[in-house]
């Protein structure tokens, strides 16, 4: 009788231990899941709003602990591009795309990094590895830039137009397209594209500066009706002045330089030097 009670107690104890073990395992899995979610969220933050160099440090440290993680490797490569360190990014993208689990997005990102290092030939070869069915904004944006580099204007226009249609934030690609038009001598077409770019993102100073150059190329020396700070206004007047002088409209250029100096809230050394050079000449 006592033996039966002992056996029963032992069996009950074993059951409790098993139950505790199961609960511990489930709790551990739950904690791992929470850690993974937190880590994923932090990685997203690092790739979007964190300072580029901070993101580089984060992914380097994470890879030291988990060197097999392809997502962390991608994060490091993307962060290096954001940090204006494309040469280093190229080395990481090369390793990533050599893996059997590399994706078409990886190859497009690799091509982007190659373009940033001016290795257009290698970028062309990498994009050629991406099947035509992979139709994304980034892919067509790069195709347009490659066509531009080869002066294939019709192809470039087609790719730019497709890229614009594949994103809700086309300001940067419209700016690139406009600059392409400007380099071809189509100043009026470029002006329209810069205006459209600024309608999507009024804060892009490069588009404002390009717009002023497009207007100046048509000998239109009035500032466009776009939002600008006082400092930006002075800088745009300076851009317009330089364009005027290059086109032989020296008197207009001198007047614009003086306006730039008067407009700038601080001492505008670059404009002052340009005006002195004109006066001495």
Distance between CA atoms of 103 and 106, rounded to whole angstroms?
A: 5
Average pLDDT over residues 2-17: 42
Q: Which of 46-50, 115-119, 182-186, 192-196 has the lowest mean pLDDT?
A: 46-50
Is 26 exposed, middle or buried, given 0-12, 13-18 or 19+ CB atoms closer than 10 A?
A: exposed
What pLDDT does 106 receive? Answer: 97
- At 253, is the pLDDT very low, low, confident or very high (cuts 50, 70, 90)? very high
Confidence of residue 264 (pLDDT cuts 50, 70, 90): very high
User: Is the separation of the CB atoms in 165 and 157 below 8 Å?
Assistant: no
The CATH number of 152-222, from 3.40.50.720, 3.30.420.40, 1.10.3720.10, 1.25.40.10, is: 1.25.40.10
131-164 pLDDT, tens digit per residue, is 999 999 999 999 999 999 999 999 999 999 999 9
Residue 136 sits at φ, ψ, to 5 deg, of: -130, 160
In terms of Cα–Cα distance, which of 201, 212, 215, 218 is closest to 235? 212
Residue 5 pLDDT level (bands cut at 50, 70, 90): very low
Q: Would the pTM of this model clear 0.75, i.e. be above it?
A: yes
Query: Is the pLDDT assigned to residue 35 strictly greater than 60?
Result: no
Indicate whether 57 pLDDT > 70.
yes
pLDDT of the residue at 151: 95
At 159-196, the pLDDT tens digits run: 999 999 999 999 999 999 999 999 999 999 999 999 99
Give the DSSP letter string of 142-180.
Answer: HHHHHHHHTT-HHHHHHHHHHHHHT-S--HHHHHHHHHH
Per-residue pLDDT tens over the stretch 201-235: 999 999 999 999 999 999 999 999 999 999 999 99
């Amino acid at each position: 009788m006592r033996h039966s009670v002992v056996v029963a107690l032992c069996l009950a104890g074993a059951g409790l231990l098993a139950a505790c073990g199961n609960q511990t395992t489930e709790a551990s899995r739950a904690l791992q899941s929470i850690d993974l979610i937190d880590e994923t969220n932090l990685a997203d933050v690092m790739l979007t709003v964190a300072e580029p160099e901070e993101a580089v440090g984060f992914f380097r440290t994470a890879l030291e602990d988990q060197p097999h993680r392809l997502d962390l490797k991608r994060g490091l490569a993307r962060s290096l591009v954001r940090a204006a360190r494309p040469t280093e990014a190229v080395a990481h993208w090369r390793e990533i795309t050599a893996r059997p689990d590399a994706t078409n997005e990886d190859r497009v990102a690799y091509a982007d990094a190659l373009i940033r290092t001016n290795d257009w030939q290698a970028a062309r070869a990498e994009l050629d590895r991406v099947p035509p069915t992979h139709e994304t904004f980034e892919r067509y944006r790069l195709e347009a830039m490659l066509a531009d580099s080869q002066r294939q204007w019709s192809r470039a226009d087609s790719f730019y137009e497709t890229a614009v249609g594949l994103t809700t934030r086309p300001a940067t690609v419209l700016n690139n397209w406009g600059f392409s038009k400007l380099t071809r001598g189509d100043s009026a077409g470029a002006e329209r594209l810069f205006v459209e770019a600024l309608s999507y993102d009024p804060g892009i100073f490069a588009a404002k500066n390009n717009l002023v150059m497009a207007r100046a190329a048509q000998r239109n020396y009035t500032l466009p009706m776009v939002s600008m700070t006082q400092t930006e206004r002075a800088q745009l007047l300076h851009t317009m002045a330089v364009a005027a002088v290059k086109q032989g409209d020296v008197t207009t250029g001198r007047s614009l330089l003086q306006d730039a100096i008067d407009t700038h809230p601080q001492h505008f050394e670059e404009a002052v030097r340009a005006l002195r050079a004109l006066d001495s000449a």
